[in-house]
Structure 1
């Protein structure tokens, strides 16, 4: 598995707990853990960290993240991607989507993109 996820500090801990349990080879970090941005770090600095360490950001931030990504790219930077969780899906459905993506994606498939979950057609 080549994707790595950095979970936003405002995401329910069930996400990273279940991801780590169900996909032990998937690297999942949470903002505020050792060797990650500290809690309260502003989004532009989080994007720089994701770029440097090659992590996809997983967040709930639907409002300002598109602006931050646009500014980041305008400055000549890149990110492996940003996944925005869907508030209309259950925690389990969002986690299933993240697992499916982690298991079936190509390197750089989501570079410089914001992906709004779900990718699949959930009924």
Structure 2
């Protein structure tokens, strides 16, 4: 399993707990962890961190993240990907989607893209 996830600070920590409980090899960080961006880090800086450290960002930021990604790409930068989730959806469905993505995707499948979860309806 080579994909790694960085969970936005607004994603409840229960998501990480459930992800690593189901797939202990999966690397999941949350903004605010000692080896992740600090809480309150601006979105453009989070995208740079994800690019440097090769993490897919998992966020619920539907409003401004597309603009941040466009600006990031306009600077000739890249990102492993952004997965935007709806916190109103069932946690089990979202966890299952994230596990399927991590287990079945190649390293560059989501590069420079935003995908909205769930991918399947």
TM-score when normalising by structure 1: 0.95
Cα distance in 2 between the residues matched to 1:66 and 1:38:
22
Q: Structure 2: any 5+ residue segments left out of the alignment?
A: none
1:47 aligns to what? 47
Q: Deviations over 1:47-68 (max 9, x none)?
A: 0000000000000000000000
Residue 115 of structure 2 aligns to a residue in which SS? strand
Aligned to 1:38: 38
Cα separation, 2, equivalents of 1:87 and 1:22: 20
Q: Distance in 2 between matches of 1:30 and 1:20?
A: 13
TM-score by length of 2: 0.97
The DSSP-based 3-state class of the residue aligned with 1:94 is: helix
Alpha-carbon shift at residue 88 of structure 1 (Å): 4.5
CA distance in 2, matches of 1:104, 1:88: 25
Tell me how many residue pairs correspond in the alignment: 121
Match of 1:11 in 2: 11
Distance apart, 1:119 and its partner CA: 1.5
Q: Per-residue deviation at 1:86?
A: 2.4
Q: Which runs of 5+ in 1 are unaligned?
A: none
1:104 and 2:101 aligned: no
Deviation at 1:107, TM superposition (A): 1.2
CA RMSD of aligned residues (A): 0.9
